[in-house]
Amino acid sequence: MKKLLTLTIGFLLHIQLFAQEKPQWMRYPSISPDGTTIAFTYKGDLYRVASTGGTAQQLTFHEAHDFMPQWSKDGKQLAFASDRYGNFDVFVMDANGGAAKRLTFHSSDEAPFSFASDNKSVIFGGVRQDAVNHRQFPTSSQPELYSVPTTGGRISQIFTIPAEAVQTSKDGSKMVYHDKKGGENEWRKHHKSSIARDIWVYDKKTDKHTQITSFYGENRNPVFTDNDQNIYYLSEESGSFNVHKMPLKEKAKGEQITKFKNFPVRFLSSSNTGLLSFGYDGELYTLKPGATPQKLNVIIHTQEKANNDGFVTINGGVREMSVSPDGKEVAFIARGEVFITSVDGKTTKRITNTPDQERFVEFAPDGKSVVYASERNGKWRIYETRKVRKEEPYFFASTLLQEKALVSNDNDNYMPAISPDGKKIAFIENRRSLKVMDLSGKQTTTLLTPDQLYYMQDGDQYFTWSPDSKWLLATYKPTMSNGEVVLLDASGKQAMKNLTKSGYGDGNAKWVNNGKQLIWFSNRDGMKAHANSGSSQRDVYSLFLTKDSWERFNLSKDDFALLKDIETIEKKAKDEAAKAAAAKDPKTKPVKPDSTIVFDWDGLDSRKARLTIHSSSLSDAVLSKDGEKLYYLASFEKGSNLWSTNLRTKETKMEIPLDGMGGSLSWDKAQKNLYLLSGGRISKINTDNNKRDQINIEGEVQVDTEAERTTMFEHVWLRNKGMFYTPTMHGADWDALKPAYAKYLPHIGNSYEFAEMLSELLGELNVSHAGARFSRTIPNADATASLGVIANYQHTGDGIFIDEVLSGGPLDRNKFSVKPGMIIEKIDGQLIEANQDIAKFLNRKADQFTLLEIVDPKTKETQQITIKPISLGAENQLLYKRWVKKNQAEVDSLSKGQLGYVHIPGMSDGPYRSVYEEMMGKFADSKAVIVDTRFNGGGDLVSDLAMFFTGQKFLDYATEQRSVGYEPTFRWTKPTLAMFNEANYSDGHCFSCGYTDLGIGKTVGMPVPGTCSFAGWESLPDGTRWGSVPVSAKNKAGQWLENNETKPDIQVKNMPGVIDKGKDQQLEVAISELLKVVK
């Protein structure tokens, strides 16, 4: 059985020199106002180079990631983003190099867009807090626009609505920007949907926002030109991102300037001379008006900030393990390598030494070899390693090892499991087929095919051999919502047998009691979430393969004791007879027990029993050797602990308190010691006395960062090719894209850049749920706290001006008298000066006793109060409740109490319970309810909601005086109206589609992008997370929903300049439309 753990690492680094004659991942170029110089990012640092090319000058040399340089209007300074304090802040530095000054201090990521027209401040975007009047859903996908003085100081909010890539006109009267309607891979290409960016112009004099692009696809990155009368921008109107130009007016027609095809044009900037700069294919280009683009020849001389061959220390936290049959060794995987360690000591031996990924390690049944899968040369292959010298009994103390390929062909093969007799090997082929191969003759038999298995991530299939090597138990999922335990004939001659036939979530079966019975896990009797897709508790069940084992299990305590006595007498007699026979004939060999699995098929379905007496969050379970005691890892209210149940007496108790995160259990071959994997540590437990000994792991591995990055890239490409839900790859030539993007690898400097490059590659698929992310963690990183108020960002004096005290926040207490209009002047005795970023005073204050000094400007009275500030996450929950409360109040007011309102932020059990509670309780007497799903981020709830909203009364329970109930009691039977918008995602799109196709009610809002798919995300060794789509969905008409928008009946856009002033146009229309239904 495979075991999962975590990896603990440490790097030993040093510096190395290098030179790049042709760097090819230069990103974020920005041309100086005079057009002579281009600043850009390369390998996580900032550089500048002449706009004609040449040798670049390095400006920053820091372990952090520095990017997005922006020139000041006079060309003397550069603003940029850097994660030097754990998140991306805005910094400014001399354009010729030197020390960088930090300008922003908030723990949310912030990045600069430009300098203001007067050159006195930097305009940047970030998620801090919406203005008090804004009616937008509070979410991190909707950042605000701010400015900060170039010398540092108080942050001012320019817009409370999202605006990115902002550029100001020379006189400061206008701004151009592209919008942000929701969350999607920034580097996705070719998609045409409502979430694609549009370009807007803001007129400061009229306070009006005007959309000026009309192409229904990506338009972004505008820059002023021709004395601010026109703009250049990037658009995919031609099929790929190119430079376009248009007059600065509404519904103007754009003109395509460049005609690049293979890669997108990125990072457009403009100088005062009209010279443009941009990036293409990882290189820098300039463009003069009326001329053709010119590629710059750039030379970079620099030093590596970290050596590529660092050392990884391994002392625990292993992800995967296998215990040797004799219980003296443990094989495990750490950072993609196979190791074996001794159980009783600290000796660890590294078995593999490759830059490739090794996984799925398992000891062979005889303990003489280990088998594992390795992703080498573009394929998963199965390998075996043996000790060479017979004098060396243990792997951890061996000197010579020999590796050979067991399964190597043109397919991907992994998850090896050798049969107990050592003659066959079972494995997964191409992620969706279970095969068995004869190790001597190499003949293969297919037991499960892609018609029966589906794939979400590597290693997500389950199967295990029978003791007699003739059968396998496997988990088979007819649908994504249920599983069954099936029996497979290893020879392939007999059809698959469904042993559970429950329709619930059954799986992960194990052979126990010498193959006379099996145990498995099921949620059949466990407490379930209100929503079908929510979590559920599980139990351990057993199926008894023979009538004898079933009858034995059902004996009473007294009858079983009698049976044991009889068996003891019979065994003694047999032993004496065998001893006598041996004395009479010394050549007589003892009879080996027959391990053949016996099936009493008649009545098999009825020989099932629930072994656990209480359902719980189960991690794993094993049965004792005599079959009388069940050990299991269970969590009830807190962490997971080791429990046991005496199956004869039903006595249940906690054996070892762990308060851990769950884990797995495994016996050694003799079933003398139980191995527990929990909390990233392996322990050996003596079940006679519950003594628990920690297994110490010590080892290290040398990692070549560049080689590892290459193998990670290979893995991403390979896995996506094997898992993508349609072989068409959405028209992308995946084979050709591999070398097209692999060429960037030598120029990638850190994991941020690697994740961005993967996002560009995966963006070629034009699919949702795809891309890559990386976030660096540092000790004592900034974490900004909240005081539970909405601050006025236009306040220019000392202190924090309170626009609103959030209900339920730390200042909302009966004993406090804090009101809007008051000013928080001091925090812990420190004056909040007008020339400081307020976030500086709030970092690392969450849940700490904090003294506030608050003044009322009207009365001049001052009060001191002590509170515990809350986290930004807790503040967001308060803001969400405030938003829902405002919407409910507006619906109640405008409908004169006839309508109710609920919002569904995500597709999980919690939101479903809230909707059920409010609609069946608070709004039970309402004539209809508005169901708002705007900004719904997804999950898995669409079927529950569709069922809930489509109830039809068919019974009315009543007395002569009144109705006392109806059927269905658990479904809404009155009208609803659904709201959705561009930011609905994943199951949020599934809902909008289902609600529309089923004709449940009217819909209001904006089109929802086609994102009704499942995500197949995973982590890479460097901490990068990436994913793509292994499973999508089709609508009632059989059409793929990926890239298939759902349009509302009534399309209404919440316009900038309106919603930020307190008017929710979509909600007002929804109220009006639903009132028409109930009249």
In the predicted structure, residue 527 carries a pLDDT above the cut 80? yes
Q: Percentage of residues in the chain with pLDDT exceeding 90? A: 83
Q: Which two tokens stand for residue 965?
A: 């109930």
Confidence of residue 591 (pLDDT cuts 50, 70, 90): low
In the predicted structure, residue 475 carries a pLDDT above the cut 90? yes
Asked which of 480-494, 544-558, 697-711, 850-864 is least confident by mean pLDDT, the reply is 697-711
Q: Which two tokens stand for residue 745?
A: 């690898």
Distances in Å between the alpha carbon of 239 and those of 56, 265, 504, 1010? 33, 12, 47, 19
| 179 residue type, one letter | D
**Boundaries of every domain in the chain:** 163-281, 785-874, 895-1009+1045-1078
- Residue 345: the pLDDT is 72
Backbone angles phi, psi at 708, to 5 degrees: -65, -40
- Residue 18: the pLDDT is 53
For domain 785-874, say whether CATH 2.30.42.10 is its number: yes
In the predicted structure, residue 862 carries a pLDDT above the cut 80? yes
- Whether the Cβ atoms of residue 855 and residue 823 lie closer than 8 Å to each other: yes
In the predicted structure, residue 170 carries a pLDDT above the cut 70? yes
Q: Where are the alpha helices (DSSP H) in 810-941?
A: 872-894, 909-917
The CATH number of the structural domain formed by 163-281 is 2.120.10.30
Nearest to 79 by CA among 87, 89, 69: 69
Nearest to 69 by CA among 121, 114, 127: 114
44-87 tens-digit pLDDT: 999 999 999 999 999 999 999 999 999 999 999 999 999 999 99
- Residue 4: the pLDDT is 35
Identify the three-state secondary structure at position 709.
helix
Nearest to 411 by CA among 438, 436, 379, 456: 379
Confidence of residue 575 (pLDDT cuts 50, 70, 90): confident
- Residue 111: the pLDDT is 98
- Between residues 456 and 582, which one has the greater pLDDT? 456
The owner of tokens 């479904």 is: 971
In the predicted structure, residue 20 carries a pLDDT above the cut 70? no
Q: Which CATH architecture has domain 895-1009+1045-1078?
A: Alpha-Beta Complex (3.90)
Confidence of residue 103 (pLDDT cuts 50, 70, 90): very high
- Residue 702: the pLDDT is 75
Rounded distance, CA 839 to CA 873, Å? 15
In the predicted structure, residue 398 carries a pLDDT above the cut 60? yes
Backbone angles phi, psi at 841, to 5 degrees: -85, -10
Q: DSSP string spanning 66-116?
A: EEEEEE-TTSSEEEEEE-TTSS-EEEEEETT---EEE----SS-EEEEEE-
257-289 tens-digit pLDDT: 999 999 999 999 999 999 999 999 999 999 999
- Between residues 811 and 481, which one has the greater pLDDT? 811
- Residue 841: the pLDDT is 97
Backbone angles phi, psi at 295, to 5 degrees: -80, 135
Q: Which two tokens stand for residue 793?
A: 């960002």
Confidence of residue 2 (pLDDT cuts 50, 70, 90): very low
Rounded distance, CA 938 to CA 936, Å? 6
In the predicted structure, residue 789 carries a pLDDT above the cut 90? yes
In the predicted structure, residue 3 carries a pLDDT above the cut 60? no
151-162 tens-digit pLDDT: 999 999 999 999
Distances in Å between the alpha carbon of 245 and those of 258, 270, 290? 10, 12, 12
- Residue 762: the pLDDT is 98
In the predicted structure, residue 749 carries a pLDDT above the cut 60? yes
Please, which contacts does 1068-1071 make with residues 24 or more away whose CB atoms are closer than 8 Å?
1068/890, 1068/894, 1069/1004, 1070/930, 1070/932, 1070/977, 1070/979, 1070/1004, 1070/1005, 1071/890, 1071/891, 1071/894, 1071/895, 1071/899, 1071/930
> What is the maximum alpha-carbon separation in the chain?
114
Confidence of residue 6 (pLDDT cuts 50, 70, 90): very low
- Residue 19: the pLDDT is 59
Rounded distance, CA 887 to CA 845, Å? 32
- Residue 7: the pLDDT is 34
The owner of tokens 């398992």 is: 362
In the predicted structure, residue 795 carries a pLDDT above the cut 80? yes
- Residue 672: the pLDDT is 87
- Whether the Cβ atoms of residue 934 and residue 1005 lie closer than 8 Å to each other: yes
Q: What is the 3-state secondary structure (H, E, C) of 931-996?
A: EECCCCCCECCHHHHHHHHCCCCCEEEECCCCEEEEECCCCCCCCEEEEECCCCCCHHHHHHHHHH
Rounded distance, CA 30 to CA 666, Å? 58
604-621 tens-digit pLDDT: 999 999 999 999 999 999
Identify the three-state secondary structure at position 137.
coil
Q: How many CB atoms lie within 10 A of CB 827?
A: 22
Q: Which two tokens stand for residue 1016?
A: 């197949």
Confidence of residue 549 (pLDDT cuts 50, 70, 90): very high
- Between residues 853 and 14, which one has the greater pLDDT? 853
In the predicted structure, residue 688 carries a pLDDT above the cut 90? no
- Residue 535: the pLDDT is 85
931-948 tens-digit pLDDT: 999 999 999 999 999 999
- The pTM of the full predicted model, rounded to 2 decimals, is 0.93
Confidence of residue 16 (pLDDT cuts 50, 70, 90): very low
Spatial neighbors of 552 by CB under 8 A, at least 6 apart, are 560, 563
- Residue 8: the pLDDT is 35
Q: Which two tokens stand for residue 143?
A: 């950042």
- Sign of the dihedral through C-alpha 550, 551, 554, 555: negative
Asked which of 295-304, 574-583, 819-828 is least confident by mean pLDDT, the reply is 574-583
Confidence of residue 15 (pLDDT cuts 50, 70, 90): very low
Confidence of residue 13 (pLDDT cuts 50, 70, 90): very low
- Residue 252: the pLDDT is 80
Residues in a beta bridge with 784: 843
188-234 tens-digit pLDDT: 999 999 999 999 999 999 999 999 999 999 999 999 999 999 999 99
Q: Is the peptide bond before 325 cis (omega within 30 degrees of 0)?
A: no
Considering the chain, what is the average pLDDT of its residues? 93
Nearest to 350 by CA among 395, 417, 387: 395
In the predicted structure, residue 466 carries a pLDDT above the cut 90? yes
Distances in Å between the alpha carbon of 1033 and those of 763, 1041, 1058? 20, 6, 36
Confidence of residue 364 (pLDDT cuts 50, 70, 90): very high
Residues in a beta bridge with 280: 265, 283
In the predicted structure, residue 550 carries a pLDDT above the cut 60? yes
Q: Which two tokens stand for residue 12?
A: 């030993």
- Residue 637: the pLDDT is 78
In the predicted structure, residue 474 carries a pLDDT above the cut 80? yes
In the predicted structure, residue 641 carries a pLDDT above the cut 70? yes
Distances in Å between the alpha carbon of 294 and those of 171, 278, 284? 31, 10, 8
Distances in Å between the alpha carbon of 991 and those of 107, 920, 1033? 34, 20, 12
Confidence of residue 696 (pLDDT cuts 50, 70, 90): confident
- Residue 316: the pLDDT is 67
In the predicted structure, residue 309 carries a pLDDT above the cut 90? no
Q: Which two tokens stand for residue 851?
A: 């003294």
